[in-house]
Structure 1
């Protein structure tokens, strides 16, 4: 579990620090505190967006941290972001769509985390956690297509395909990741386009069948190293884990990939591809 990032060395001088240096110091404090790379990447993206918006508004090449965290500048940033004016990528809803509540909440949280680190007094009001973002069938289809055909630079190809397969099953079956977590390879019948769940067989659509086939091929290359001792878990790690207590790391395939691992891989991949986090649950049909 990450710890709270270390506060800035001198709270009394926070307002006169260079804003960009203050953001960099904050991100480094998150790294030292053990925050996940995806969390640090999201904070860096949103605070970079905030700084760029503030610099453009001021017509300046630099600002102090005190100028950056001015409440009026923060409010102007949130308003512009809500209207889609700070967007650098297209979205599932088009380039002119308003920002989602989840993205706005992440912006407020990023600002508040930086302010707390520096010892600044002002905080933004973050919207309460709701039931989560839901995608329309068209939006879900676009996201699944993106996951299936795109891989961000530096990403693990096997992890990308596994993430796409999990997402396709979530969308196709209406089941959550924890509910699909214990599936085995023999629960997938590609020839008959079926997945065998605890309630019985359910059909697979063409996309899920194709992506699952790709994942099973990749999975097979990983488990070949087990030399016939494959226990048959459908979702497996794509690389060895870290050694623990002096023991050698287990080869991928001996154990299941944890639910948190599948969730983290999804968030990380979607954040890199779309510029905002979209949970696997957003693919579930809305009641």
Structure 2
């Protein structure tokens, strides 16, 4: 199966980069300005967002280029743009990539994810993969949905070095488990501890967010796939492709329309009555 990659349509008409934006000297100055801002204790979010707006095209050219090996990309990108350790800036970058002029994009995206999860809840019960969420709080419901999503939208490739495909999305840390030790053993996972959540790329923890944001964590994960231009793991490629088309409303390249994606979408659309 072809490994699914993020395929998106940037809004070129809204780009504000000048013709010299691609010069190494200009980009170096841009990086330095951002990094100087991040040496402060609490960098102003709007100031950073403005700088990111100005150099969007040049930044995407740098990140998306084949000159950076994918296994090194997250380190190089986060070194140049430490602001992307902030979930807020990563979600805004997703907006720039997919729907730059839509100021309501993130709210609309969260609304679509909420609607998708509600349908998934019924879909999971129908497929006997989920129990009705009686007595569960929102975080517990979100965790159960994350665990079952890979089996509801399965890929043909078996997960490597993990027990099941859900481990490529989320892992609940035991009280005795150390996050760093776990990550060294289990790549491509987002471990969740009882008190907060750690989002990781490979064996590197990138950022944390509070447990009450667990309901949005799949959107954060997708935002990082787009921002860092990473390939979907084969064992969850179908699921992430479904989220890409159904929630992000972003088309998939023809070469990535796999048989497992087509089969999952046919079953999903039949269930929701499309």
Shared fold, TM over 0.5: no
Highest RCO, 1 vs 2 (Cα 8 Å, sep ≥ 6): 2
**TM value normalised by structure 1:** 0.28
Q: Which has the larger radius of gyration?
A: 1
Which structure has the highest helix share of the two? 2
**TM value normalised by structure 2:** 0.29
